[in-house]
Homo-oligomer: A and B are copies of this chain.
Amino acid sequence: MSAGAIRVGLDVGGTKIDAVAVDERDEIIGRLRRESGWGEVEVVANIVAAVRDLAAESGFTLDEVVSVGVGIPGVVDADAGRVLHAVNLGVESLDLAGFAGALLGVPFRVENDVKAAALGAAVMRGAAGSMAYLNLGTGVAAGIVVDGRIWRGARGTAGEVGHLSVDPNGRRCGCGQIGCIETFCGGGALARAWGRPGALPVRDILDAAESGDAQALALRADLFHGAAAAVRVLVLSADVERVVIGGGLTALGDRLEAGIRAALRQDSDSSAFMRSLQLDDRVEILSSGSPAAAFGAALVGAADTSKETVPHG
């Protein structure tokens, strides 16, 4: 490989950074995880350290890095490289591309984490056409990718399906509305509704449901029907060919996948129209260790902004 051919991608989550190095053939040649930290100074320091450590561990130098892309929660001004309101990281308003780029001497680009993951999942799947990436984590949001391009929309709310209400008698959402999809299938909302201690509350809910706990059975049904509702919104608005589910809840593995598929079938029972959409065949779930988000960030880092195409080696 020639010098200057490596793209680095970082998925910066509320607790961990997942970093990958990608070569000219779109292959991942190195990967590491480290803490994200808290507050603007610490987050920048940990991002810079992640790139340095990844280079050292994978055997390349910073001179060989053509770009770094960062996927990060919050409102991202991709053109300015600025992150706003990343509340889980203690970031209020941060010129991330400016600080990190200056410290490393490498161009940085910043993107909303779900949009970056959507692009990564789309390219990893080799999918032409349209795809939505539905992130089931603490919150719920989707990214839409069409023909290898992130769908941006007019004002930055494309894919924000978590805050559509599907039940006027449902629970109050953190956003202030009632019965949002996120109140059904967001990890944070489920943990609050469950209200019992435990490091992995959604896993506890599934375990307790299998033991017949009535509250857990109800919340498990909410999880699956909420995710099914999000899939329906994406297909009956943007009409994406496939919905790929990622995010922290994919750690639930087969139980999540089987539950969502069953909910899609059950919710379609009464409707020939809905059955004709074959939604249960159009969803798939990423493995919980998938590098899609960090890989997508690497693609974003190297993207030509003016065209927003996906570079391929």
From B158, B169, B272, contact of A237 by CB (8 A) = B158
Q: Which residues of B contact A235 (CB under 8 A)?
A: 157
Q: Are B236 and A238 in contact (CB under 8 A)?
A: no
CB–CB B271/A177 < 8 A? yes
Asked if A153 CB lies within 8 Å of chain B CBs, one says yes
| Structural contact, A239 and B175, CB atoms closer than 8 A | no
Copies in the complex: 2
- Selected contact of A153 from candidates B155, B157, B229, B240, CB within 8 Å: B240
Indicate if the CB atoms of A237 and B159 lie closer than 8 Å: yes
Provide the main secondary structure of the chain A interface: loop
Looking across the interface, which residue of chain B has its beta carbon closest to that of A158?
Answer: B239
Interfacial chain B residues near A273, Cβ < 8 Å = 163, 175-176
A277-B155 CB under 8 A given contacts A176-B270, A270-B176: yes
Complex alpha-carbon distance, A271 and B100, angstroms: 34
A167-B167, A177-B270 are contacts. A158–B238 as well, Cβ < 8 Å?
A: yes
- In chain A, positions 131-171 with a C-beta closer than 8 Å to chain B are 142, 144, 151-161, 163-169
Chain A contacts to B: CB under 8 angstroms: 129-130, 142, 144, 151-161, 163-169, 173, 175-178, 229, 232-241, 267, 270-274, 277
